[in-house]
Chains A and B, each alone.
Chain A
């Protein structure tokens, strides 16, 4: 491996953090650099390099730090592990900081033994030393350091102890030369490694390359393809490996490493008491990953989270609170309770007896704020007794203010129409339209982050694996898809943890079907409208949208599996982290990041595009201010109305709202606010039916995601052709599903037709593949027969 020494003149040091997944690399990275990278309690949170800088002015230390995805070994298995290996071997860093989880020393040292084979300075950070103490265990750090031949510093990344000492050690060590050593060079492989090494005179990392060549590492073998025959011969000569491992060098190397670790290091751990056979974590797993109860428990947890976030009838307390209790409460209490009620002819009140859930309460708070700032200013013309408009001496209509309105409308009361329009009906309406949903997004996030931080989500991946396997994916796809509920961009990036290319691409295609945070305002807003028009339960409406996404994803995955005709899914092997109580710091940092992201977007992209939409809605092609029905948007939108008729929302405003969603999904709501003033108005004035509204929601859920997500998908899919195919696929899926929903909603009997079509497709693909298989088998048989015939003829000739 080429090693370019970096310019160290300025005293700059660059180090790489390497270690097993979930051993606390990113926690240490955050502690060192003050960064706020996402930390979670599962394998594969970090899927790309993160860079930051550690500064200690007093000690005059400045160190650039590169955080790498977790790896179990330097023989990578999944795409994100390749990133780590490539970086470690690139020689870009001056030193490798190997983080070792002290609670799991043996397995972590497996990677360390491989890192030692690279001739670079190494410092070992023994992390989670505090956890060790509470387990009644101690590790002899000094002896560990002596036996590894590199400095070892005991730290706690979480409690930020030992950090200064660690960085001082790094500073003292990075300039020293370290000779590569291999702990397995004294085993039965000694001879083979040494003989291979003699071939590689020019190699900069001679020891590392020799061991990897003996092991049969694909990447290194390719590099030295010229020596293939010689290496093969050397390996053939090793009789011992042949006897003990059936000639499998890869197994032999792995086994030797573990053996050496066991011999050399197991006596360094002293335990005061025997470890319990069944830990509290195991006990929790007995329940949470139960073969029957595992999935129902997960669903109940998710439903409870949705309830706390979206329900306007918290804990269903309306059952015990008498009707009308909150009919006339003061404005402050109104934030906490539902004051809406209906009165029948006899004066009986029903309603006004429910508490708002925390999510709905917070949303009300922001809406109240929006009202103060941008409450609508209502002005009416004064009429005389005959119903005629009263005119002043200049012939203008006399007006009176019916409602004062918020601060900004009052401020702009005398401004020209266009200025008032662009600020109040454009920017403020659009931005507040988005902001009012931020609290609910945050509450939902908070719970998902907590679940993730405890380590529960890794278990869910395990219990979901069986179901995912049926549709041609594995439990590995669960985590990325779950992240898509937050945002599709990190979700799509997290697919790097999936080893199999086909599964990875399928997962990327399914990503937008999992409703992201930015889409959720659409569901909440329309759920509220449907609650008031047709009386649908809000949380169930929202939940059903999420369900539509999941169901469509399953159906599509199944279809992709059937069409591709692939058999078997890659094996699911995943480490389950120990449960721990969620860390306030990592949870709050994550939530804060999300909040900043949304507010920033509302203030920039969304504010800017609302101005454009407002302009297009109020002007015509000759740049004159006109009625909205003659505006540019209405005209252009009108051209496409026929296309969306079969979907039940052939209305130009619905089309405009959907299209603006491509910029950012929050745009859908902010556009609606600009187009009609409110979502309720938007629905009623259009005359779109309930089925049409639900079809519109489904269409927006399933269609092409925002530009950011398309960009992420493009870079992960790796080719322009595949990206266009994905876009086409999303458009088609959303169109077809929305149409089915609308048609079945309007004419229920069409359900049978669609069921028949789906069944037809599945049967057809089944038969086609059977036929293909038969052909393949026949071909293979023919080839085999031909081969035997050939062999025989060869024998005959001899």
Chain B
């Protein structure tokens, strides 16, 4: 499912990052990679705060909606 509709507070895995190359590269550098763990902490109308490797990262809706996650 898309990150913006993931359940809050549950850890999941990033399945796909479907942004442009530059943004994807930025996300990777900051720690969000396909196959990595991710937890949605907060969602404000699609703008999100996620937890990745103990950091909190804020993203706007455009980016967040292009990240697909898998939460079991």
A residues apposed to B, CB below 8 Å: 72-73, 75, 77, 103-104, 106-107, 110, 250-251, 254-255, 258, 275, 277-278, 281-282, 285-286, 289-291, 294, 458-459, 461-463, 465-466, 469, 474-475, 568, 571-576, 578
Contacts and interface: CB of A to CB of B under 8 A. Distances in A.
Nearest to B62: A571
Given A289-B44, A462-B47, A466-B47, A576 B58 contact: yes
Interface string B20-55: 011111111111011110000111110101011111
B68 interface: no
A574 B57 contact: yes
A107 B31 contact: yes
15 contacts: A77-B26, A107-B31, A254-B25, A255-B33, A258-B33, A285-B41, A286-B42, A289-B42, A458-B58, A462-B47, A465-B47, A571-B59, A573-B60, A575-B30, A576-B58
Contacts of B25: 75, 77, 250, 254
Contact of B58 (A77, A104, A286, A572): A572
Contacts of A72: 26, 29-30
Nearest to A258: B33
Contact of B55 (A107, A255, A285): A107
A466 B43 CA distance: 13
Nearest to B24: A251
Contact of B60 (A254, A458, A474): A474
Nearest to A216: B21
For the residues of A in contact with B, the DSSP-based class is helix
B3 interface: no
A475 B24 CA distance: 19
Contact of A475 (B27, B34, B36, B60): B60
Contacts of A103: 54
Given A110-B31, A281-B56, A466-B47, A77 B9 contact: no
A265 to B, nearest CB: 12
A741 to B, nearest CB: 34
B6 interface: no
A251 B35 CA distance: 11
A424 B27 CA distance: 61
B63 interface: yes
Contacts of B27: 573
Given A77-B29, A573-B63, A463 B44 contact: yes
A458 B19 CA distance: 24
Given A72-B29, A107-B55, A254-B33, A571 B63 contact: yes
A291 B44 CA distance: 5
A475 B9 CA distance: 24
A104 B47 CA distance: 24
Contacts of A465: 47, 58, 60
Given A462-B49, A465-B60, A254 B29 contact: yes
Contacts of B36: 258
Given A463-B44, A466-B47, A573 B59 contact: yes
A278 B9 contact: yes
Given A465-B60, A573-B26, A576-B49, 5 more contacts: A72-B29, A107-B30, A278-B9, A282-B51, A578-B56
Which 6 pairs from chain A and chain B are nearest by CB?
Answer: A254-B28, A291-B44, A72-B29, A572-B60, A73-B29, A462-B58
Contact of B63 (A77, A104, A278, A572): A572
A427 to B, nearest CB: 50
Contacts of B45: 291, 466
A475 B63 CA distance: 14
B59 A572 contact: yes
A571 B60 contact: yes
A106 B29 contact: no
Interface residues on B, range: 35 or more
Nearest to A292: B44
B42 A285 contact: yes
Contacts of A475: 58, 60
A567 to B, nearest CB: 12
A575 B57 contact: yes
Nearest to B21: A250
Given A106-B53, A294-B44, A575-B56, A255 B34 contact: yes
Contact of A251 (B34, B43, B60): B34
A408 B36 CA distance: 72
A258 B52 CA distance: 12
B18 to A, nearest CB: 12
B47 A285 contact: no
Nearest to B41: A282
A250 B60 CA distance: 23
Contacts of B33: 251, 254-255, 258
A18 B43 CA distance: 33
Nearest to A576: B56
Contacts of B54: 103-104, 107, 275
A576 B21 contact: no
Contacts of A469: 60
Nearest to B35: A255
B9 A573 contact: no
Contact of A466 (B28, B35, B60): B60
B69 to A, nearest CB: 16
A584 B35 CA distance: 42
B30 A277 contact: no
Contact of B9 (A277, A466, A572): A277
B47 A574 contact: no
A298 to B, nearest CB: 13
B54 to A, nearest CB: 5
A58 B59 CA distance: 49
B14 to A, nearest CB: 11
Nearest to B58: A462
Contacts of A77: 22, 25-26, 29
Given A106-B53, A258-B33, A466-B60, A251 B44 contact: no
Given A291-B45, A462-B47, A465-B47, A110 B55 contact: no
Contacts of A578: 56
Contacts of A568: 62
B50 to A, nearest CB: 10
A104 B53 contact: yes
A104 B55 contact: yes
Contacts of A575: 30, 55-58
Nearest to A78: B26
Nearest to B56: A576
Contact of B56 (A285, A290, A571, A572): A285
A539 to B, nearest CB: 30
Contact of A282 (B34, B56, B57, B59): B56
Among B9, B55, B62, chain A packs the most CB atoms within 10 A around the CB of B55
Nearest to B51: A282
Q: Which residue among B26, B49, B58 has the maximum number of chain A CB atoms within 10 Å of its CB? A: B58
A458 B56 CA distance: 11
Nearest to B60: A572
A782 to B, nearest CB: 26
Contacts of B29: 72-73, 75, 77, 110, 254
Contacts of B53: 104, 106-107
Nearest to B57: A575
A573 B28 contact: no
